[in-house]
Chain A
Amino acid sequence: MTAKQLIELVQQHHPHMGETEILLLLNQSMREFCEDTKMTASSNVTIDTVSGTRWYTLPDFNTNTSAFPMELISIKEVYLDDVRIPRLQGNPIIEDGS
């Protein structure tokens, strides 16, 4: 269904609601639906690594202006140079903040 159809559907019940408000609620409900069902596709994002740098900010998936206008719900796997790397249980005792 298109956004227009969905808006019309809601407005049949709530004619006082504007398009902006309905879109906001539709997107909010869609995210809840995706979180609850995990009914979403797996997707890849890639980041450059720099020697001596430990921390990498994950891209801002969460805005329509970004190249990736989706919200990250969970991380399934991480690959470094095409080799899958595991998640560390706990954090290292020494953190140099690099």
Chain B
Amino acid sequence: MADKKEYFWYIDGNSGSFKMALVEKATSAVTKNGWTSDYKTIELTGTNNLRIVGVFSDVDLTDPDAVSPITKWSLIPERFHKCIADKVIAIGYRDPRNKDLQSAEYFEAIYEKQLKKAKARVTNMLGTGRIVPQDF
């Protein structure tokens, strides 16, 4: 039976770029200045063998007149597209060129309402539920 190797990952970096470290558990394998570590660098070579499953934003829209434009968000449901435009309208009303704070508040409120609905939709679909106290 093959040895069961224990691998771990951790992250470092700054807000702009991240690096992922891969280590293997190996009891007291690394020693330096009297200190010992139970984790050593992996000894594994492979092509596309590290797979990261993550949550990603949707793709950026590009200029509709460009050669091969991205004209639509594909991951965000269509019903929420308008609320993102509402957010931009709110930002526009805070701009000194077209300042109207009342309208900004109005569109921000519409956005927040839809944001709440979107969060609820995600929780309903992917959430694990919550424990509700029950009297017997």
Write the residues of chain A forming the contact surface with B, with a CB cutoff of 8 angstroms. Answer: 1-4, 6-7, 9-10, 13-14, 16-17, 19-20, 22-23, 25-27, 29-58, 60-61, 64, 69-83, 85-88, 90-94, 96, 98
Contacts and interface: CB of A to CB of B under 8 A. Distances in A.
Contacts of A19: 63-64
B53 A76 contact: yes
18 contacts: A3-B64, A6-B84, A6-B88, A9-B82, A9-B85, A13-B92, A14-B92, A26-B61, A40-B56, A47-B20, A49-B44, A54-B21, A56-B19, A56-B21, A73-B54, A78-B50, A88-B8, A94-B37
Contacts of B62: 3, 23, 64
Given A13-B89, A31-B57, A73-B57, A94 B30 contact: yes
A81 B85 contact: no
Interface in B40-77: 41-64, 69-73, 75-77
Interface in B108-123: 115, 118-119, 121-122
A70 B58 CA distance: 6
B78 interface: yes
Contact of B81 (A1, A47, A81): A1
B54 to A, nearest CB: 5
Interface residues of B, number: 77
Interface of B: 7-13, 17-23, 30-32, 35-39, 41-64, 69-73, 75-78, 80-85, 87-89, 91-93, 95, 97-98, 103, 115, 118-119, 121-122, 126
Interface of B is mostly: mixed
A4 to B, nearest CB: 5
Contacts of A93: 35, 37
Contacts of B82: 1, 6, 9
A2 B93 contact: no
A31 to B, nearest CB: 5
Given A25-B88, A51-B44, A81-B46, A34 B57 contact: yes
